[in-house]
Amino acid sequence: MDVVNFSKEIRRNTLRCLHSQGSGHVGGSLSIVDLLAVLYSKHMHVDPADPKMDDRDKLVLSKGHAGPALYATLALKGFFPMEWLDTLNKLGTRLPSHVNVNLTPGVDMTAGSLGQGLSAACGIAIADKLKGVDRYVYVITGDGELQEGQNWEGAMFAAQKRLDHVIVFVDNNKLQIDGATQNIINVEDIEAKFAAFGFDTQRVDGKDLEALDRAIVQAKSAHNGKPQCIVMETVKGKGVSFYETMGAGVHSTTVTDEQYAAALEELK
């Protein structure tokens, strides 16, 4: 499946997953779909038949409430049956609302409280250096999440330890649960902040599959001792017009039968 159609399939199945529960973290799930499509079609060294493969690349979904998008991606790649998508957050599910490494094949780090993913990725990358494992550790964080101070402790550590196989993606959709990030705690200029902490940085259109691919290729080819940060300009609820225009309310909202049908019609 080409990356364009893969992205569309991830969106449709992210909504399938959320519709099974009737509500959930719609906005921030849909805003990272294009990144997941590029990563899992072109860059992630993984094997669905062997999810714990020793030399696999690892993804830390620090904004773990966007799990439905990752679940849809992993199911489409064959890590687990598509039917699991209909069990989101239900009793006995393998797909909790926040990703859990102990429950879901293909998930590499448990998430919950925001702001911890970069620190976890640094730990993975340090262990890789000690063991001589050559792999990339990708981190997806949110712009609102960057208000958590632990991110910047992790950023200092990554630069100090020259963790150039750590690549951080910032989902800069400019909204968080309580409103616009600029009105709560303005985190811009994100690119300049990460550069000041010792990262190589790029800013790209996070809705442009080719631009995302080029940015990842550039980050992977640097090998200059600097961790990498790609700031993605995204839209919360991307791909479904009525979700895109909901503002902060789309952070966690309903996916009713009617909304699901209308969204699938748009995504044909």
Residue range 102-144, pLDDT digits in tens = 999 999 999 988 999 999 999 999 999 999 999 999 999 999 9
Q: What does the block give as tokens for 117? A: 């993913």
Quote the pLDDT of residue 108: 97
One-letter identity of residue 242: F
Domain boundaries, the chain: 3-266
Pick 3-266's CATH classification: 3.40.50.720, 3.40.50.970, 1.20.1630.10, 1.10.8.100.
3.40.50.970
Quote the pLDDT of residue 229: 98
Quote the pLDDT of residue 1: 85
Give the number of other CB atoms < 10 A from CB of residue 199: 24
Quote the pLDDT of residue 236: 98
Give the number of other CB atoms < 10 A from CB of residue 51: 16
Quote the pLDDT of residue 10: 98
Q: Under a CB-based contact definition with an 8 Å cutoff, are residues 72 and 95 in contact?
A: no
The segments of the chain whose pLDDT lies below 50 read: none
Q: Under a CB-based contact definition with an 8 Å cutoff, are residues 112 and 64 in contact?
A: yes
Q: What does the block give as tokens for 173? A: 């959709």
Quote the pLDDT of residue 112: 85
pTM: 0.97
Phi, psi of 35 (to 5 degrees): -60, -45
Quote the pLDDT of residue 17: 98
Quote the pLDDT of residue 210: 98
Phi, psi of 178 (to 5 degrees): -100, 0
- CA distances to 68, 101, 214, 254 from 110, in Å: 14, 5, 29, 25
Spatial CA neighbour of 134 closest among 200, 218, 56, 51: 56
**What whole-number distance in Å separates Cα of residue 16 and Cα of residue 35?**
19
